[in-house]
Structure 1
């Protein structure tokens, strides 16, 4: 395909009805998620008077189901109807979130209920997120991976601008539990929009689909996904980098709202406004990522983002003084955090989409998530323990310094020197001796 035709395809991506439907579904769902991310911990803090350790447990439970994603991914690779799984996951999350405002209206909301909802919505998220990589390559041509990831990341970034401000208003006007209705409705809309997507592409068949191949067991499929990640230098480097940054940023992430509320004495509305304004950085990062990677290279852009994302937590740790200073440093911290994470995510997500074979996508994603997302509960619990022992500010410094070291994992992966995705040789088949299926 010529460069001119490639440009034409990229420019017309949102004109594709199926991609547009999924883009809108993701946009609506992400906006609702931003409301929940503010409302959920505020329910624990303001309504149930939770301690830092209890807030950390709440965050940990959301991510705990990812430990099983290595098996979920192996199972998903065997399922022919990927779109149906995405719809089911959205409907499950909508139903679970609706139980919180209902319980609040009946004066029966408890921390135990929040824990259960957090755990089960996390399980539904594992189903959705592990299915997504296999669905993505049926929806988007390889030539459009960077463009599609940029657009989806821009949508996510925009939700960080509007979502926290909307969440702050809803929490103050309606209460935190009732604000969760917005996220429940967003999942219903997402399910309806995804159901409209029409898939015409077919994945590249894997070895187990070839005539005469011996079917593998679910355990063998799960093991092959994890083995593939560990044997591939590109994926191994990304996994180490992502796992490190997730551990440290979640040590602080579970405490940001708590720190802003109690440590900085900011209201729910001010917290939402500060997070929303700061999230402009993420929007700019998502839009600029393809341009910057084109000029400076995919690898260098990802590395800059990988350092900037966690290092910005140190800015929040410095917050003190008058209210304008406290809210200002919250905004600046969120701005550079969002900018960094988008430069990191857009490029490395596109790298992963390039190097993973079609028939291994969900099981590799599942294995990746089991480690990368599975570390998040440990990070959250570490943050809660440190905050209890040494305080909130030292915990933020711990996260900023430790997280910034994540990019050391990329040495030897081939990513730092990669200018384009074509510089990273696509994996054609599993490494010798791995289970096939």
Structure 2
């Protein structure tokens, strides 16, 4: 009787956060930063409303100042960051946000706080956040290997989603416990902690890749998106989604609270289900991609995130029953959105040329954020001319239509994000050469 020696079991590979010291510190800094950004977006308008005693106009000024950098700066930021090491710029952005926010409690203590100062701080913090976010997108592929990119983006998106869920509550508790100005001081310290986390990621950052075959104009990020079928599909989807989401959001609160009798607290709880769903979706995104294939997982995620809201305008309920139904839709839609976000970021990082990561992300941010004010305005017009329920329906239909570009064969059939390079090479052989030479390798 022969005996066989059992082969030693292959040890289970530890997760990226456990085995990658530098990414773990970067992730910790990034997580604190996104939580700080969420708190800031709530705390600064509350300072205007409660400390300066301004009305809706004053709060709008601060909110607009915070948002403007997302429209004005992405192209410039992407162009400037492309040829520079990103980590130290991200640390500088955190330090700048720390200093700017510290001005608010200092000015309050000296009785110098004013609406123009608060708006200037909001704009400066928003501008530093644009630099940080674009730099982070381009920095991650230099910190981890391409095989580790999906796991890295899952971790980053997971903490961002958690911050979106917890941020408003944390901001509210800080304001209630310490007052608006003191809450901003605590928020200021969060960015200092973020800078420390980034500084502890000690892996030397290689110089940015420079490809002499790529044009380097400030509009190059937009051109890269236009000539690349996958980047173009991702951008069109995100822009239409954001436009439609604003139409939906503007009308949803009016329809649910004013017309269907849902309490403000019930409305808030119903929407919070979307954050819970998004966190769940973020955590299962890579498992879904392994099981279905990358493209099919992406399409399935979009089917949930853009399809479930179609039910909203059809509900006949009112009060708590309506709140529960809306929460169920938000939970399902949020799960799809969380999964799609992880898959989208990784795909953009893989298909964009390494010498144009920051520029393409700048162009992408400009297009997907630039439509938001138009969506808000359009939502108001539809609600006024038709009805808030019609506005909800139009927004939901727009969300569904946004998924169409991502259902095309060259995205749907991807087994792995790296397959996108082959798809683009085949596409370039069968299409007329674009006006800007394709750089895909």
Q: 1:117: how far off?
A: 3.7
Are residues 59 and 417 of structure 1, via their aligned partners in 2, closer, same or farther at CA, if it must alter by over 3 Å?
A: farther
Aligned to 1:350: 346
- Corresponding residue of 2:335: 339
1:83 Cα deviation (Å)? Answer: 0.8
Higher relative contact order (CA 8 A, sep 6+): 1
2:218 paired residue number: 222
Offset at residue 127 of structure 1 (A): 1.0
Task: Name which of 147, 154, 170 aligns with 1:166.
Answer: 170
Alignment counterpart, residue 232 of structure 1, candidates 228, 233, 257: 228
Distance in 2 (alpha carbons) for counterparts of 1:110 and 1:255: 32
Q: Is the 1:48–1:110 contact (alpha carbons within 8 Å) kept by the matching residues of 2?
A: no
Distance 1:225 1:18, change over 3 A: same
Which TM-score applies when normalising by structure 2? 0.79
CA distance in 2, matches of 1:250, 1:5: 50
CA RMSD of aligned residues (A): 4.0
**Cα gap change, 1:44 to 1:338, in 2 (>3 Å):** farther
1:19-168 → structure 2 map (5 Å cutoff)? 19-40=23-44, 48-50=54-56, 55=60, 58=63, 62-79=67-84, 81-101=85-105, 115-168=119-172
Matched position secondary structure for 1:287: helix
Deviation at residue 249 of structure 1 after TM alignment: 1.8
User: Closer, same or farther in 2 for the Cα pair 1:414/1:110, shift >3 Å?
Assistant: farther
Counterpart in the other structure of 2:418: 422
Residues 147-197 of structure 1 deviation map (CA, whole Å, 9 limit, x = unaligned): 111111122222234333333433444455654444322222111111221
Map 1:236-275 to 2 at 5 A: 236-252=232-248, 264-266=262-264, 275=271
Q: Contact 2:25 / 2:197 at 8 angstroms: preserved in 1?
A: yes
Question: Structure 1 residues 184, 407: closer, same or farther in 2, change over 3 A?
Answer: same
Q: Give the TM-score normalised by the residue count of structure 1.
A: 0.79
Q: Give 2:300's match in structure 1, choosing from 298, 301, 304.
A: 304
Answering whether residue 372 of structure 2 is matched by residue 367 of structure 1, we say: no
Distance 1:283 1:129, change over 3 A: same
State the aligned residue count. Answer: 419
Any idea what SS the aligned residue of 1:197 has?
coil
| Larger Rg, first or second structure (1 or 2) | 2
Q: Tell me, which stretches of 5 or more residues in structure 1 are unaligned?
A: none
Tell me whether 362-371 or 305-314 shows the greater mean CA deviation. Answer: 305-314
Gaps of at least 5 residues in structure 2 are: 1-8
1:23-56 CA distance string (max 9 Å, x none): 11122222233334444555667753417x9749
